[in-house]
């Protein structure tokens, strides 16, 4: 695939002005006048200044979103018009692909090729996917007793708050915005303070193209205060949160002590990847597993951070994977040669380094990495070498706690039952992988793995048509597929007496 050149000059210019909140179709400063800086994780340089939303700004966004929800400009669109609106947004994202990919890389630190090839196309396509669902959501005709007709219908919920993290800032927001708008809701999006730029730009693009009525899409940039205000707001009907398990619990608490708004949570993971000794093509298994773990600088919720490897092939596996980690080139995320960019922000960078020290203290064997990349010392960027620990016990903290960075644990097992036991011995349950050339074993193990998604012989398959989401402390509910439509509608049962 050919990659359009990055728009660095354009971005430099765009970043010169500070960025505001997008409420009711207008750009506005925060009521407190507070701002915060967006920092480039590649070199610690300030990119721009953003408005910091507080409680009052959230109140204003809720008023605007409520008004737009009730307003006929949005409510009375025909299904075809609503679908066309979503298709137009998809097209606008495609037209601005290089621009948005440039901002994502400047803000998040992932390579430009990752932003351009992985994040951007899906951010656009998800709008087309949900546009096509708009006229395909049916209720049921329910077989009740004679004399009555009973049927169900799916209705929009109302004002939806969408809170997203910094690892796929635009993409994960679009995963929520598209189905929410498709079902006729209005939204307030809150990005992570570390990566707000692409969503600011998306709102500008949508405003310039006049595709949405005012107030249907609102953006509040900020952090904890805005997030808490959204969780606890009485005027919000639904909150969809993607982020850490710790904050997800606070969101659920905020919803429960306020108005019991509907909550969906996409949270953390510590996903296992079991590799049996019957695999015929170990090179292919290592290659795919390595890619699934370390792409996007290993800041992916569903990545396989615990490789559970049969003892008979453990040494061969180590001999194949360690050179891969050693060969990774960290550096300028805009260079086509770079494999791995900078970790997203300073606190996160320090957290990963602390976990690496912890792994050493816990007695795991450091096989690769274990330190910052030399380029970090040159330019101050948050670069960490891909790190692999061998001889890890699943009880170690590095195997139990989500690190969300390039730190992989290798754990040995003796038999199938032990592999499943280790895989499930975690309070997370987002994803799991199993590699085996024995079809019966594949089914047996996949059924026993306690995870929302199981990948057999190819870790990391994603498709809009397939539900995405975890169990246990990895979350509530599913995104993608028709499951997301259920998350953004309420079901009404209507009775009609006819005799």
Instruction: Work out the number of other CB atoms within 10 angstroms of the CB of residue 335.
Output: 12
CB atoms within 10 A of CB 447: 9
Tokens of 381: 């960027």
Q: Of 173 and 279, which CB lies nearer to ligand NAD in the complex structure? A: 173
Phi, psi of 18 (to 5 degrees): -75, 160
Least Cβ distance, residue 304 to ligand NAD (angstroms): 13
Task: Name the catalytic one among 122, 266, 416, 479.
Answer: 266
Output the smallest distance, CB 161 to ligand NAD, in A. 9
- Return the residue of 6, 120, 189, 301 that touches ligand NAD, per CB under 6 A: 301
Does the protein bind ligand NAD through residue 244 (CB under 6 A)?
yes
CB 197 → ligand NAD: shortest distance, Å? 14
Is 450 a residue that touches ligand NAD (CB under 6 A)? Answer: no
Q: How far apart are CA 209 and CA 204, in angstroms?
A: 9
126 versus 279: smaller Cβ distance to ligand NAD: 126
State how far the Cα of 259 lies from the Cα of 231, in Å rounded to an integer: 9
Q: Which residue, 191 or 213, is less far from ligand NAD as judged by CB? A: 191
Q: What span, in angstroms and rounded, lies between the C-alpha atoms of 411 and 413?
A: 7
Instruction: Note whether 199 binds ligand NAD by CB under 6 A.
Output: no
| Span near ligand NAD by CB under 6 A; candidates 104-112, 239-247, 331-339, 358-366 | 239-247
Q: Which 388-447 residues touch ligand NAD, going by CB under 6 A?
A: 402, 404, 430
Q: Does the protein bind ligand NAD through residue 227 (CB under 6 A)?
A: yes
Q: Give me the torsion for CA of 295, 300, 306, 309, rounded to 10°.
A: -40
The window from 165-173, 304-312, 351-359, 442-450 that contacts ligand NAD (CB under 6 A) reads 165-173
- 288, 241, 224, 105: CA torsion to nearest 10: 40
- Selected from 125, 128, 223, 418, the binder of ligand NAD by CB under 6 A is 223
Q: How far is the CB of 170 from ligand NAD (least distance, A)?
A: 13
Q: Which of 41, 184, 213, 269 binds ligand NAD (CB under 6 A)?
A: 269
* Choice between 226 and 308, CB closer to ligand NAD: 226
Question: Any contact of residue 166 with ligand NAD (CB under 6 A)?
Answer: yes
Burial (Cβ within 10 Å: 0-12, 13-18, ≥19) of residue 319: exposed
Longest Cα separation, the chain = 82
CA distances 241 to 52, 197, 228, 244, 299, Å, are: 19, 19, 12, 9, 17
Comparing CB distances to ligand NAD, the nearer of 269 and 460 is: 269
236 binding ligand NAD? (CB under 6 A): no
Under rule CB under 6 A, residue 247 binds ligand NAD: yes
Within 124-163, the residues that bind ligand NAD by CB under 6 A are: 163
Helices and strands of the chain, counted as H and E runs? 19, 22
Distance CA 397, CA 393 (A): 9
Nearer to ligand NAD, 298 or 308 (CB): 298
Q: Does 109 bind ligand NAD (CB under 6 A)?
A: no
Compute CA distances 144 → 68, 138, 293, 492, whole Å. Answer: 37, 18, 51, 15
266 catalytic? Reply is yes
Can residue 52 be called a binding residue for ligand NAD (CB under 6 A)? no
Q: Which stretch binds ligand NAD (CB under 6 A): 72-80, 190-198, 331-339, 365-373?
A: 190-198
- Where residue 275 falls (left for φ over 0; alpha for ψ -120 to 50; beta otherwise) is beta
Q: Helix (H, G, I), strand (E, B), or coil: what is residue 60?
A: helix
Per CB under 6 A, does 477 bind ligand NAD?
no
Neighbours of 444 (CB within 10 A): 14
Token code pair at residue 178: 């598209």
The least distance separating ligand NAD from the CB of residue 250, rounded to whole angstroms, comes to 4
Catalytic residue among 160, 174, 203, 301: 301
Closest contact distance (angstroms) between CB of 241 and ligand NAD is: 7
Q: At what angle do helices 120-131 and 79-95 cross, to 10 degrees?
A: 170
Beta pairing, strands 431-435 & 489-497: unpaired
Joined together, the tokens standing for residue 297 give 């600088």
For ligand NAD, the closer CB: 57 or 416: 57
Query: Which CB atom, from 247 or from 318, has the smaller least distance to ligand NAD?
Result: 247
Binding mask 341-380 for ligand NAD (x = CB under 6 A): ----------------------------------------
228 binds ligand NAD (CB under 6 A): yes
Angle at 195 (CA atoms; ends 403, 299), nearest 5 degrees: 25
Tokens 């644990």 map to which residue?
409
Phi, psi of 55 (to 5 degrees): -60, -40
Report the residue number, 307 or 428, with the smaller CB distance to ligand NAD.
428
> Which residues of this protein are in contact with ligand NAD, per CB under 6 A?
163-167, 172, 190-193, 223-224, 227-228, 231, 242-244, 247, 250-251, 266-269, 301, 402, 404, 430, 470, 475
Instruction: Tell me which residues are annotated as active site.
Output: 266, 301
């Amino acid at each position: 695939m050919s990659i359009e050149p990055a728009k660095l000059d354009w971005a430099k210019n765009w970043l010169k002005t500070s960025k505001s909140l997008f409420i009711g179709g207008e750009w506005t400063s925060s009521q407190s006048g507070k701002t915060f800086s967006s920092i480039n994780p590649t070199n610690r340089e300030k990119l721009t200044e953003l408005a910091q939303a507080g409680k009052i700004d959230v109140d204003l966004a809720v008023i605007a979103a409520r008004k737009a929800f009730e307003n006929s400009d949005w409510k009375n669109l025909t299904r075809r018009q609503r679908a066309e609106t979503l298709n137009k947004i998809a097209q606008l994202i495609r037209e601005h692909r290089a621009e948005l990919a440039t901002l994502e890389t400047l803000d998040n630190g992932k390579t430009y090729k990752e932003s351009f090839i992985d994040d951007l196309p899906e951010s656009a396509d998800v709008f087309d996917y949900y546009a096509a669902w708009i006229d395909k959501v049916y209720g049921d005709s329910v077989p009740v007793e004679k004399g009555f007709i009973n049927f169900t219908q799916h209705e929009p919920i109302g004002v939806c708050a969408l809170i997203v993290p910094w690892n796929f800032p635009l993409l994960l927001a679009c995963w929520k915005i598209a189905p929410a708008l498709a079902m006729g809701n209005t939204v307030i999006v809150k990005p992570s303070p570390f990566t707000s730029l692409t969503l600011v730009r998306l709102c500008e693009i949508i405003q310039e193209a006049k595709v949405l009525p005012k107030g249907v899409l609102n953006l509040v940039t900020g952090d904890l205060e805005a997030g808490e205000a959204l969780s606890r707001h009485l005027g919000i009907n639904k909150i969809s949160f993607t982020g850490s398990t710790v904050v997800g619990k606070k969101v659920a608490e905020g919803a429960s002590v306020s108005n019991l708004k509907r909550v969906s949570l996409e949270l953390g993971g510590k996903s296992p990847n079991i590799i049996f000794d019957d695999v015929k093509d170990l090179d292919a298994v290592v290659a795919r597993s390595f890619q699934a773990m370390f792409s996007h600088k290993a800041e992916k919720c569903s990545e396989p951070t615990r490789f559970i490897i049969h003892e008979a092939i453990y040494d061969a596996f180590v001999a194949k994977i360690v050179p891969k980690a050693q060969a990774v080139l960290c550096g300028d995320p805009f260079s086509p040669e770079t494999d791995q960019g900078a970790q997203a922000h300073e606190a996160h960078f320090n957290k990963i380094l602390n976990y690496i020290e912890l792994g050493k203290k816990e007695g795991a064997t450091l096989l690769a990495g274990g330190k910052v990349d030399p380029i970090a010392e040159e330019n101050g960027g948050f670069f960490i070498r891909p790190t692999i620990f061998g001889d890890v016990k699943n009880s170690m903290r590095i195997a139990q706690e989500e690190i969300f960075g390039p730190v992989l644990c290798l754990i040995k097992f003796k038999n199938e039952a032990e592999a499943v036991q280790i895989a499930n011995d975690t309070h997370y349950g987002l994803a799991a992988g199993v590699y085996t050339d024995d079809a019966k074993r594949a089914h047996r193990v996949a059924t026993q793995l306690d995870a929302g998604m199981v990948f057999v012989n190819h870790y990391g398959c994603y498709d809009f048509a397939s539900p995405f989401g975890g169990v246990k402390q990895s979350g509530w509910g599913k995104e993608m597929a028709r499951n997301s439509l259920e998350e953004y509608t309420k079901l009404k049962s209507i009775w009609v007496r006819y005799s």
